[in-house]
Amino acid sequence: METLSENACFGGVQGVYRHASAACSCDMTFGLFLPAEAADGPVPVLWYLSGLTCTHENAMTKAAAQGWAAEQGIALVFPDTSPRGEDVADHDDYDLGQGAGFYVNATQDPWAPHFRMWDYVAEELPALLAAEFAIDGERQAITGHSMGGHGALTLAMTLPGRYRSVSAFAPICNPTGSDWGRKQLSAYLGNDEGAWARHDASALMRETGFEGPILIDTGTKDQFIDLLRPEALATAIAERRQQAVMRMQPGYDHSYFFVSSFIEDHVEFHAERLWA
């Protein structure tokens, strides 16, 4: 593992690191904020999964999350959104290929050799963090924005017991019913729509739900709201009678101005469960 940078941040350290990924068969970069408490022993961790076109850097620099995490004594992990490199397949469209991994394990060419973001986020990166940093793997929570909100919700509902809580900012709620989903799932997983269901938060909510609290925020002025389909997830939550808070925030759009406005709520929401 290579340290690319480490900066003092709210009494802790904001680092950026690169490592050779066996899951993605390329070098991967991630950000990690460790609060001051990590100097004395392992701390709980909140995962932040970013959206389309993002790298590890977007939320790390725009979400304004570190100060709130420092107050709560929890770590923040900012993974990349896809494999990267000259040998990694890409596409001219912004919503497919590099920057658009969709947190799945691709089975179709040309994506299959590298696009294994599910294994990377669910298995490889957690193991690396536990081995190299003062991270308490028994106390994890997860959040994300847009495509990352989709990833956070699907990971949480598919890995029971892994995360104590899950939240999302403007998540893609029903990718099997949206152009932000059908395009990518067919490209990465093929045309068998049965294979898509485990990556659809609304379908997973009906099938399994989540054994814990959920918080979801979406802006009423989100320019992509028809692609996000929050109504599909809201219906599934109601049908399952799932413990969840789903808020429509008046006037907010899809940007990091929206995320940074409500990140304090989300960090506090997770910290309450992580320290319980």
- Tell me the per-residue pLDDT of 44-53, one tens digit each, with 9 for 90 and over: 999 999 999 9
Percent of the chain with pLDDT over 70: 100
Q: Phi, psi at residue 137, to the nearest 5°?
A: -70, -10
- pTM of the entire predicted model: 0.97
- 170, 147 in Cβ contact below 8 A? no
Q: What is the pLDDT of residue 92?
A: 96
Q: Which residues are catalytic?
A: 146, 222, 254
Q: What is the pLDDT of residue 39?
A: 96
- Tell me the per-residue pLDDT of 75-86, one tens digit each, with 9 for 90 and over: 999 999 999 999
Q: What is the pLDDT of residue 67?
A: 98
- Tell me the per-residue pLDDT of 9-43, one tens digit each, with 9 for 90 and over: 999 999 999 999 999 999 999 999 999 999 999 99
- Nearest of 105, 113, 93, 114 to residue 28 by alpha carbon: 114
Write down the domain spans for the chain: 2-274
Distances (CA, A) of 205 to 15, 53, 124, 158: 35, 27, 26, 10
- Tell me the per-residue pLDDT of 214-233, one tens digit each, with 9 for 90 and over: 999 999 999 999 999 999 99
Domain 2-274 of CATH type 3.40.50.1820: yes
In sequence order, the 6+-apart residues with CB closer than 8 A to the CB of 53 are: 81, 94, 99, 100
Q: What is the pLDDT of residue 48?
A: 98
Number of residues in the chain? 276
Specify the pairing of strand 166-169 against strand 214-219: parallel
Percent of the chain with pLDDT over 90: 100
Range 62-70 average pLDDT: 98
